[in-house]
Amino acid sequence: MKPADIHAVIAILREEYKNWRTPAVTIVAQCNGSPFKVLVSCIISLRTKDEVTATASARIFAQAETPEAMTKLSVDEIARLIYPAGFYRTKAEQLSLLSRRLLEEYQGIVPDDIDELLRFKGVGRKTANLVMTLGFGKPGICVDTHVHRICNRLGYVSTKNPEETERALRSQLPPEYWIEINDLLVAFGQNHCHPVSPRCSNCRLSGICDRIGVKVSR
């Protein structure tokens, strides 16, 4: 894919996005989600299906919308509320510890700095960038498995892991697309450009995409 084609890709995905399910964490952000709620939902979402993330987030936020409220719940209570999210017990411990640290070290306010966010146990670059973009509306490029896979499949980057993909995108992706690239490609990946057997036959990007690594498609 020619670098200049990214403008056409984004334009098409913006149109198609209206037909797809909105990612669960994005819904949290759109529904008056605070940076704390975005952060919690991001942690729940790791290795968890989107529909599970949505229901688990709704249950935990019905009981705790702030770090202070979260610290009043036991780890067992948090685990019960976010079940059956993947690794729910570990995540419950992380959420409890994270909330206490926010109160003790940050006056209960989620920091709007990637390096500070990465100091929290359970927070990686994907989560930190998503909190920056969806929670604070600040520039960042959140690269998860969908963004990494699709950017390589398109031929826009040639990288081995999400960290390399983030660095590549920061150097070549036009800044106006930084915040929305995750939303667009996550929705695209969940609904159309699947990891195995993507729907290439009726994809509007078929004339642009290099289909790198695609062996079987529909």
Q: Is the peptide bond before 174 cis (omega within 30 degrees of 0)?
A: no
Quick one: three-class SS letters along the chain? CCHHHHHHHHHHHHHHHCCCCCCHHHHHHHCCCCHHHHHHHHHHHCCCCHHHHHHHHHHHHHHCCCHHHHHCCCHHHHHHHHCCCCCHHHHHHHHHHHHHHHHHHHCCCCCCCHHHHCCCCCCCHHHHHHHHHHHHCCCCCCCCHHHHHHHHHHCCCCCCCHHHHHHHHHHHCCHHHHHHHHHHHHHHHHHCCCCCCCCHHHCCCCCCCCCCCCCCCC
Q: Is 126 noted as a catalytic residue in this protein?
A: yes
Residue among 5, 126, 183, 210 flagged as catalytic: 126
Residue among 91, 144, 183, 210 flagged as catalytic: 144
Q: Is 144 noted as a catalytic residue in this protein?
A: yes
Catalytic residues: 126, 144
